[in-house]
Structure 1
């Protein structure tokens, strides 16, 4: 299992930037798979605690049922548009994909299921310093950190 702690150890600056984007807004988006294999998008809250990325699902929620049946997921930070004229200050957006590992009930707060992330990929998309190129950085447990720039 690959935890958030593993990402932090392998690529600390990259992990810091990704986590700051996830922590910047309370609400994120999660993609799960329905029983027929089609995608489902749901709102979600996440937490980085003790080197783990965790998230929950309320009782009888469709996303929780999806994750129990097929644990694959993709998380996306809140989307913020670049400010015209200040594009270089755009923080970008981040995504984390993996498998949800059921970890029991949510210990604090509403009833529901708690999941930990077994991370398979982390992606950070942003602009270069001159705001002329799109920079896509991604990390996987197998290949580590890589990057590509696009016009």
Structure 2
């Protein structure tokens, strides 16, 4: 597992592109695991803050209960339609484990959960140039950065 800072150090251009895709909109999608092991997806927000990917959850929410029981998560960037013309930045995903951290001292949210992500994998997928193939860039804990194409 790694912090966002480690990915930025290991693959800075890739990390910057992933951050840009995540920053294209406020609302992301987070996947958690229910008590029976089935997946749950929910809207969420996250931030890249001081070398960490962080997020919070409302107190008494089902996704907060999910993460406290089983910290495995995946977060998907905002989903944006490709432009009519020009290059599509693609979509990005991060998976790993949520690690609970202390609430900010001025937090008005009683019972909320605050987390950073210990990252196992990051992926960025987009249409290549020319637009006849898909490009998959990824970073994995233990093996680092990789770029592949698929026709």
TM-score (norm 1): 0.94
Q: Which residue of 2 aligns with 1:126?
A: 126
Unaligned runs of 5+ in 2: none
1:93 matched to 2:91 = yes
The whole-number CA distance in structure 1 between the counterparts of 2:150 and 2:107 is 43
The whole-number CA distance in structure 2 between the counterparts of 1:32 and 1:113 is 14
**Offset at residue 96 of structure 1 (A):** 0.2
The whole-number CA distance in structure 2 between the counterparts of 1:110 and 1:97 is 28
**Offset at residue 108 of structure 1 (A):** 4.9
Paired residues for 1:1-151 under 5 Å = 1-84=1-84, 86=85, 88-111=86-109, 112-151=112-151
Tell me, yes or no, if the aligned pair for 1:139 and 1:145 is still in contact at 8 Å: yes
- Equivalent pairs, count: 149
SS, match of residue 102 in structure 2: strand
The whole-number CA distance in structure 2 between the counterparts of 1:108 and 1:12 is 33
The whole-number CA distance in structure 2 between the counterparts of 1:146 and 1:48 is 22
Unaligned runs of 5+ in 1: none
Tell me, yes or no, if the aligned pair for 1:133 and 1:150 is still in contact at 8 Å: yes
The whole-number CA distance in structure 2 between the counterparts of 1:75 and 1:28 is 7
The whole-number CA distance in structure 2 between the counterparts of 1:47 and 1:108 is 18
